[in-house]
């Protein structure tokens, strides 16, 4: 019974963190775009006259979407039209289960991992769940019986399939260096240092792999400059016939993908919960000396480090979204097939040659 209770607590905490951060990313995007465009941004929503820089805006948006009319066109396939946003939402939401938030802790004499579950193929699990999300996009365009929505879903399918190839190739070199598909093992392999002072993070061992993964992952989120499935100024997008809560689920899925990509970047290339020079007993400085810390404080620092890395990459992705213009569709496909994939193969060859020396 204790194992079941532990699992339920971890699911509740991980999913709660995921959804709350998703809500507040909508506020962050408003504020960050406002700063770049010399505006104030969301600041009107308040509770009892208390505004707090518009921090209540996500809750106001949620209330509006819940009570907004759920309209389904008469010509649409009503079952698939309703199912599509839930498919997209579900397959992105379950990916957070394999993300390690921190090192193992001991509670009541029992070792507990700070992740919902830790399968031996955790990395493949995350990539598979993200890939299945494409069915929500295809179903939404098909079920809407709208040629522009269908065009958006076809664009989305082609884009995601193309960039998943580059995404997979960018990770092969990392797996060659860190020989495991278990997410917790990949984080632990990044402990220690290179040359006595440089953290043994994936970004330093696989710099080209990191660059390729970052670009391909940005394309997987379907946001500017890769938002061709939506193309608001061209075709409106695969969710053209959606409104209310179902439209909100599609929007939440986009922001959840930002968090998943940020968590993957932090876990695979930036040490996850690892803190430079921090071991289980405290800091071991590269210039000599040891700063002892209590075990619980080390765990807290590790969890906060993971959170900080995720928040940083969320901020960076939103900054990119409001900085670069949208690519043309031919430029999008050329970048994926003619640039990223050849560079991914080159990275695998270079990694193999270096490891064979």
Per-residue pLDDT reduced to its tens digit, 70-108: 889 999 999 999 999 999 999 999 999 999 999 999 887
Does the pTM surpass 0.85? The reply is yes
With respect to residue 211, please indicate whether it lies within any of the assigned structural domains: yes
Q: How far apart are CA 171 and CA 173, in angstroms?
A: 5
Could you tell me if residue 89 is inside a domain? Answer: yes
- Structure-block tokens of residue 5: 């209770």
Reported confidence tier of residue 231, pLDDT bands at 50, 70, 90: confident
Is 297 a member of any domain? yes
- Asked if 89 and 253 count as a contact pair (C-beta separation under 8 A), the reply is yes
Residue 171 placed within a domain: yes
The answer to whether residue 61 sits within a structural domain is no
- 3 state DSSP class of 201: coil
Where in the sequence is the domain holding 171, given as residue range(s)? 70-356
Q: Facing residues of 111 across strands?
A: 106
Alpha-carbon span 222 to 327, nearest angstrom: 12
**What total of structural domains would you count in the chain?**
1
Query: Given a cut of 60, is residue 213 above it in pLDDT?
Result: yes
347 domain-assigned: yes
On whether residue 15 sits in a domain, the answer given is no
Burial (Cβ within 10 Å: 0-12, 13-18, ≥19) of residue 176: middle
Indicate whether 108 belongs to any domain. yes
State whether the Cα torsion 58-80-73-67 is positive or negative: negative
**Which band of pLDDT confidence, cut at 50, 70 and 90, is reported for residue 196?**
confident
Confidence tier at 187 by pLDDT (50, 70, 90): very high
CB atoms within 10 A of CB 352: 12
Q: What is the mean pLDDT of residues 188-197?
A: 92
DSSP tag of 272: T
Short-list 293, 266, 299, 268, CA closest to 281:
293
- Is the bond into 323 cis (omega within 30 degrees of 0)? no
Q: How far apart are CA 131 and CA 173, in angstroms?
A: 20
């Amino acid at each position: 019974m204790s194992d079941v209770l532990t699992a339920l607590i971890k699911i509740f905490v991980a999913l709660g963190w995921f959804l709350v951060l998703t809500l507040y990313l909508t506020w962050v995007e408003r504020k960050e775009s406002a700063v770049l465009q010399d505006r104030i941004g969301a600041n009107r929503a308040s509770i009892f006259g208390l505004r707090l820089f518009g921090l209540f805006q996500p809750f106001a948006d949620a209330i509006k979407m819940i009570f907004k009319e759920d309209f389904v066109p008469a010509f649409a396939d009503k079952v698939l039209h309703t199912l599509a946003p839930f498919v997209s939402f579900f397959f992105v939401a379950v990916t957070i289960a394999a993300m390690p938030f921190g090192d193992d802790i001991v509670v009541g004499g029992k070792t507990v991992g700070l992740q919902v579950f830790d399968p031996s193929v955790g990395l493949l699990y995350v990539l598979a769940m993200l890939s299945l999300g494409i069915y929500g996009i295809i179903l939404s365009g098909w079920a809407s019986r709208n040629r522009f929505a269908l065009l958006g879903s076809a664009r989305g399918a082609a884009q995601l399939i193309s960039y998943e190839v580059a995404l997979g190739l960018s990770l092969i070199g990392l797996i060659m260096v860190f020989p495991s598909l278990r997410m917790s093992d990949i984080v632990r392999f990044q402990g220690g240092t290179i040359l006595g002072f440089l953290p043994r993070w994936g970004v330093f061992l696989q710099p080209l792999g990191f660059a390729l993964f970052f670009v391909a992952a940005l394309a997987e989120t379907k946001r500017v400059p890769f938002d061709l499935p939506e193309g608001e100024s061209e075709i409106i997008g695969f969710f053209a016939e959606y409104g209310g809560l179902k439209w909100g689920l599609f929007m939440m899925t986009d922001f959840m993908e930002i968090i998943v990509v940020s968590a993957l970047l932090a876990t695979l290339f930036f040490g996850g919960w690892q803190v430079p020079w921090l071991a289980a007993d405290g800091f071991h400085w590269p210039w000599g000396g040891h700063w002892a810390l209590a075990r619980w404080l080390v765990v807290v620092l590790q969890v906060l480090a993971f959170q900080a890395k995720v928040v940083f990459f969320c901020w960076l992705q939103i900054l990119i979204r409001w900085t670069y213009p949208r690519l043309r569709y031919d430029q999008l496909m050329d970048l994926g097939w003619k640039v990223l994939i050849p560079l991914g193969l080159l990275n695998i060859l270079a990694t193999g040659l270096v490891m064979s020396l």
